[in-house]
């Protein structure tokens, strides 16, 4: 990203004084005492895998890339929550376009490791491909491979097989560390190829562990962190390392554990998820200070928030947002929330700022931790269906500003200012090198207020809406001219063609004043909009009322380069796109998204998206005379603004027709419940001990599913016994995650179903639930068989480092009242992992084990049925249908599946699209009713197979009711999408 060409040449010559890590991992600038500080200067250009060596370091203000200051403006995105590699590019291009220069990613151990010693980084798990795509998009990467990640994924990212190993996780236990080393070796082998220091990729930061708040004062913790540090360095990772404190505790700050003598190459970071209804906290310059003050816990490293709330997760039943789902998360953490909270962070010196989540995605299959349902939309700025939301506008504005104004990377707290009795809190900061001043005005009241702000020798009246904030600047360079002050918020500037261009933003209808320093009276031309101007005492003052886009051209004043001042409404600012090319920067106005810009000769080639019909206007280097949009040449004319404007508007997205889902076929399942079912091929459950933290009941075998290699999805048990004629009842104890359930049959006849309660506001974070279900036993002599199906709902996370991921899942104990027969138990869960879809796709239902969910399965002997269904039975019923889509190749259509029914009906559905387990629906719990079907899994131009595995408890009539495809958004443009299966062949089981 090419930032300001401000005249810092003298300072830039000494920019390499800052701390740095070279490709060899040197720390030559890490001398004793206060570390050297780099000057303010131009920021580095856009990152790429350029094959060149780079230095990556930091001083107490910011990151330093090749000695140049950079504020990392980052968004969290998880490749494992979007199992369609083609769409990774779509999401990353959208984030880059909207001002992000960095992404942060978790790498989930369980996603890549189906068994000890086995690591799969192919297909949807191709980390190398994701990192290549990030580099091609021009984004820096913060890599977070755990080994523990939390992230609301099963077992916090630990693989299922780790739940049955010796050793205590997240400590220096040697057995655990042996497995950790295997995992890190596998990840680091890939990561080392993508380090920015080596020129192979754009990784600039690497996280050790995740929110490790335990064993801080114990050798178990210190030795563990030391081991991770040394292991990562031994693997060739030479970029700065950090840890994210779970809160502001000063845990694992520099100097708290042994880093092998290496100094100045490790940062302190922390996480924060303040309530949107609370006052934004000061976690830096303006806070309490010390080890509990956030970034002040490590004053010699830049402020680093590894996770700041861009939303929040929702539990089964939707208690977090009163059943309104992620739409409510997005409403309460909206654009105004972002301005208040994120600008407060910047004012507090946070220069590495990661928003969790920026694209949440989908916790498909058995990936989610038990505390969340399938959608991980999170209320993020980019929704689960990859659709931009209004939350992207402030992120876009701030990201572009950080991109263009290097002064912001080095700020000190300046003198306090008063803004009147307004309820507005004012933050005042100054760059010590350039003396540019910045002001963050935050209104913590519900009503709009006007602040009287002292700006560059004058007092300006600045309105701030209720529960909102804005940033003002004085003394920054706008190319060859200097801003005295503006009551509008600066967004970007660039030099292109024969002029400088500066963009300021504000609310529609707002009156603004922008003052420029001018040695003599300039020539001012209002090209568009409502604006007036006056010149006096060396200052040009431009007063404008914001309405779409106001254009003012400033010429003369002894400066040969004109300045085009663009005053944009917030809405219009979201359609202004900067793109840096080797030939110089390009500014584009109009489309819903600009993906790429390339100059070839006199032609600028643009790609991007439109939703509605849109103008297209381009400012670019000299000599540009022709515009190509998505490979189509447009007639364009030169404007007085120095741009090229297409004579015709870009077309919007054409309509998308979705077929009705008909021709359903039905087959009943749970053959395992029949008395004469042959279970001789199942594993015998006869173990006597377990590494689980759950005690084994005295006198009973281990029945925990994980101990027999069944880690994901449903698990079946069959117990054979005699001599129980006097039994009165059977009690089945089991443990599951939230919303787990148990079904039982005796001699093929239903005994009943037990369900865990729906979480309420007090139990939304409870990941493990245990219960005992007791059923009466009909009297009978002779051989008997007890069949039990447990929907386990996955392992708890281990956020407190207490091995809670090892709490048992499945049956834990069985007793018969009135009889004590010897019981022989057999157990069956998921079969070998699907080689394409991975270990988290399937559980142990009969249909899953026999391919009923797969395309190509022969269902011709299944009965044809219609929806809605209304049947009452305990067990599993499958429905299948095919449907064909014919979405235009030029359209990116995001499509979902919506299920609706009477909420009193008790049943749940596993949704399989072309063999992929895209989620779980619980009709009488919710709140999720629409499930995103990612393109790539979904063939938008071809045949698709949909399979529904319906699990009903028999207490009510069960559906499905209405099942329909839903258009979640569409755009003309997008990226090419490849089907996620074996190239040229069918999906494989």
Q: DSSP string spanning 821-890? A: ---EEEEE---SPBTTTBTTS--S-HHHHTTTTSTT---TTSEEE-SS--B--EEEEEEEEEEEEE--TT
Tell me what percent of the residues of the chain surpass a pLDDT of 90.
94
Res. 36: pLDDT tops 90: no
What number is the average pLDDT over the span 949-965?
97
* Calpha distance 87→978 (Å, rounded): 9
Specify the DSSP element, H or E, that contains 595.
strand 593-600
- Residue 222, helix vs strand vs coil: helix
- Measured in whole angstroms, the distance separating CA 191 from the mean position of its chain's CA atoms is 19
Tell me what percent of the residues of the chain surpass a pLDDT of 70.
96
- Residue 84, helix vs strand vs coil: coil
Q: Return the residue matching tokens 């114990």.
A: 218
Res. 315: pLDDT tops 50: yes
Where helices occur in 212-354 by DSSP H, the ranges are 219-234, 326-332, 335-347
Give, as one character, the DSSP assignment of residue 713. S
Predicted confidence (pLDDT) per residue in 43-88, tens digit: 999 999 999 999 999 999 999 999 999 999 999 999 999 999 999 9
Predicted confidence (pLDDT) per residue in 805-850, tens digit: 999 999 999 999 999 999 999 999 999 999 999 999 999 999 999 9
Q: How many Cβ atoms sit within 10 Å of the Cβ of residue 633?
A: 11
pLDDT of residue 515: 98
List of residues 6+ apart from 942 with CB closer than 8 A: 884, 885
**Tokens linked to 301:** 């490293």
Q: Which CA distances in Å does 433 have to 156, 349, 746?
A: 45, 16, 80
Predicted confidence (pLDDT) per residue in 699-737, tens digit: 999 999 999 999 999 999 999 999 888 899 999 999 999
The mean pLDDT of the chain is 95
Nearest to 716 by CA among 623, 900, 835, 845: 845
CB 562 within 8 A of CB 498: yes
Which positions are catalytic? 211, 307
Nearest to 143 by CA among 155, 129, 131, 151: 131
What number is the average pLDDT over the span 261-269?
96
For the four alpha carbons of 622, 626, 630 and 635, in that order, the dihedral sign comes to positive
pLDDT of residue 21: 53
Nearest to 347 by CA among 451, 472, 261, 233: 472
Nearest to 514 by CA among 551, 488, 496: 488
* Calpha distance 373→685 (Å, rounded): 31
Predicted confidence (pLDDT) per residue in 508-545, tens digit: 999 999 999 999 999 999 999 999 999 999 999 999 99
* Calpha distance 569→45 (Å, rounded): 28
- pLDDT category at 422 given cuts 50, 70, 90 is confident
Specify the DSSP element, H or E, that contains 399.
helix 392-404
**Tokens linked to 697:** 């009941």
Nearest to 218 by CA among 262, 251, 250: 251
CB 909 within 8 A of CB 920: yes
Residue 828 has phi, psi (to 5 degrees) of -145, 130
CB 27 within 8 A of CB 110: no
CB 117 within 8 A of CB 974: no
Query: How many residues are there in the chain?
Result: 989
Predicted confidence (pLDDT) per residue in 374-399, tens digit: 999 999 999 999 999 999 999 999 99
Res. 987: pLDDT tops 80: no
* Calpha distance 94→803 (Å, rounded): 39
pLDDT of residue 34: 60
- pLDDT category at 574 given cuts 50, 70, 90 is very high
List of residues 6+ apart from 178 with CB closer than 8 A: none
pLDDT of residue 421: 84
């Amino acid at each position: 990203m090419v930032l300001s060409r401000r005249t810092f040449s003298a300072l830039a010559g000494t920019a390499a004084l800052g701390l740095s890590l070279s490709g060899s991992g040197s720390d030559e600038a890490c001398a004793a005492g206060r570390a050297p500080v780099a000057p303010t200067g131009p920021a580095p250009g856009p990152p790429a895998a350029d094959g060149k060596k780079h230095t990556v370091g930091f001083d107490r203000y910011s990151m330093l890339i090749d000695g140049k200051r950079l504020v990392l403006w980052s968004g969290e995105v998880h490749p494992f929550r979007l199992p369609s590699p083609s769409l990774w590019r779509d999401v990353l291009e959208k984030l880059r376009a909207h001002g992000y220069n960095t992404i942060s990613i978790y790498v989930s151990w369980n996603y890549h490791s189906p068994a000890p010693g086995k690591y799969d980084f192919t297909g949807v798990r191709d980390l190398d491909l994701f990192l290549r795509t990030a580099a091609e998009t021009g984004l820096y990467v913060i890599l977070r491979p755990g080994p523990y990640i939390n992230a609301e994924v099963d077992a916090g990212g630990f693989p299922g097989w780790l739940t049955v190993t010796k050793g205590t996780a997240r400590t220096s236990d040697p057995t655990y560390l042996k497995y950790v080393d295997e995992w890190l070796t596998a990840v680091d082998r890939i990561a080392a190829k993508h380090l920015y220091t080596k020129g192979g990729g754009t990784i600039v930061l690497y996280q050790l562990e995740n929110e490790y708040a335990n064993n801080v004062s114990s050798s178990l913790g210190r030795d563990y962190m030391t081991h991770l540090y040394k292991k990562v360095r031994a693997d060739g990772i030479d970029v700065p390392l950090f840890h994210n404190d779970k809160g502001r505790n000063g845990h694992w700050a520099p100097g708290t554990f042994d880093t092998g003598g290496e100094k100045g190459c490790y940062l302190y970071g922390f996480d924060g998820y303040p309530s949107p209804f609370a006052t934004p906290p000061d976690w830096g310059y303006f806070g309490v200070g010390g080890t509990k003050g956030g970034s002040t816990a490590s004053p010699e490293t830049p402020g680093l928030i590894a996770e700041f709330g861009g939303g929040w997760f929702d539990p089964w039943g939707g208690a977090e947002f009163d059943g309104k789902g992620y739409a409510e998360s997005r409403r309460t953490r909206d654009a105004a929330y972002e301005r208040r909270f994120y600008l407060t962070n910047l004012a507090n010196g946070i220069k590495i700022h990661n928003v969790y989540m920026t694209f949440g995605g989908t916790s498909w299959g058995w990936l989610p931790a038990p505390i969340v349902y399938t959608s991980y939309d999170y209320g993020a700025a980019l929704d689960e269906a990859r659709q931009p939301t209004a939350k992207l506008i402030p992120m876009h504005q701030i990201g572009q500003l950080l991109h263009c104004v290097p002064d912001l990377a080095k700020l000190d707290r300046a003198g306090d200012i008063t803004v009147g009795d307004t309820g507005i809190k004012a933050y005042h900061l100054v760059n010590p090198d350039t003396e540019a001043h910045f002001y963050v005005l935050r209104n913590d009241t519900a009503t709009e207020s006007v602040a009287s702000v002292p700006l560059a020798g004058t007092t300006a009246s600045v309105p701030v809406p209720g529960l909102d904030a804005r940033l003002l600047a004085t003394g920054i360079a706008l190319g060859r001219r200097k801003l005295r002050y503006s009551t509008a918020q600066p967004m970007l500037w660039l030099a292109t063609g024969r002029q400088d261009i500066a963009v300021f933003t504000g609310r529609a209808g707002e009156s603004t004043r922008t003052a420029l320093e001018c040695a003599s009276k300039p020539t001012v031309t209002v090209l568009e909009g409502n604006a007036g101007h006056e010149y006096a005492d060396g200052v040009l003052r431009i007063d404008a009322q914001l309405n779409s886009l106001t254009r003012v051209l400033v010429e003369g004043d002894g400066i040969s380069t004109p300045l085009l001042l663009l005053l944009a409404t917030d809405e219009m600012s979201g359609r202004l796109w900067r793109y840096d090319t080797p030939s110089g920067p390009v500014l584009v106005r109009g489309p819903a998204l600009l993906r790429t810009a390339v100059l070839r000769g006199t032609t600028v080639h643009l790609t991007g998206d439109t939703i509605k019909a849109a103008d297209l206007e381009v400012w670019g280097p000299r000599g540009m005379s022709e515009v190509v949009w998505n490979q189509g040449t447009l007639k364009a004319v030169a404007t007085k603004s120095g741009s090229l404007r297409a004579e015709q508007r870009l077309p919007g997205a054409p309509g998308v027709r979705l077929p009705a889902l008909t021709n359903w076929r039905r087959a009943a399942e749970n053959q395992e419940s029949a008395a004469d079912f042959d279970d001789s091929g199942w594993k015998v459950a006869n173990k006597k001990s377990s590494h689980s933290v759950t005690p084994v009941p005295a006198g009973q075998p281990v029945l925990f599913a994980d101990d027999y290699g069944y880690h994901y999805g449903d698990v079946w048990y069959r117990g054979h016994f005699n001599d129980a004629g006097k039994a009165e009842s059977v009690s089945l104890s089991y443990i599951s995650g939230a919303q787990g359930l148990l079904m039982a049959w005796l001699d093929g006849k239903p005994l009943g179903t037990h369900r865990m309660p729906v979480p309420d506001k007090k139990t939304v974070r409870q990941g493990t639930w245990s219960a005992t279900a007791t059923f009466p036993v009909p009297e009978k002599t002779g051989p008997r068989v007890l069949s039990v199906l447990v929907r386990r709902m996955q392992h708890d996370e281990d956020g407190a480092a207490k091995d809670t991921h090892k709490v048992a899942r499945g049956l834990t104990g069985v007793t018969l009242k009135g009889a004590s027969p010897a019981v022989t138990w057999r157990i069956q869960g998921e079969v070998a992992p699907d080689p394409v879809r991975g270990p988290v796709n399937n559980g142990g239902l009969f249909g899953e084990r026999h391919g009923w969910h797969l395309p190509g399965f022969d269902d011709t002997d299944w009965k044809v049925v219609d929806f809605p269904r209304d049947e009452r039975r305990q067990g599993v019923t499958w429905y299948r249908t095919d449907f064909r889509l014919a979405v235009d190749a030029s359209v990116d259509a995001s499509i979902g599946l919506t299920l609706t029914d009477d909420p009193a009906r008790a049943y749940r559905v596993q949704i399989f699209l072309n063999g992929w387990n895209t989620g779980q629906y619980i009709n009488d719990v919710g709140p999720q009713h629409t499930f995103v079907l990612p393109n790539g899994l979904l063939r938008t131009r071809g045949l698709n197979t949909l399979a529904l595995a319906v699990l009903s408890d028999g207490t009510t009539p069960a559906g499905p009711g209405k099942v329909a495809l839903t258009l979640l958004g569409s755009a003309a443009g997008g990226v090419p999408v490849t089907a996620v299966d074996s190239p040229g062949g069918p999906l494989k089981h």
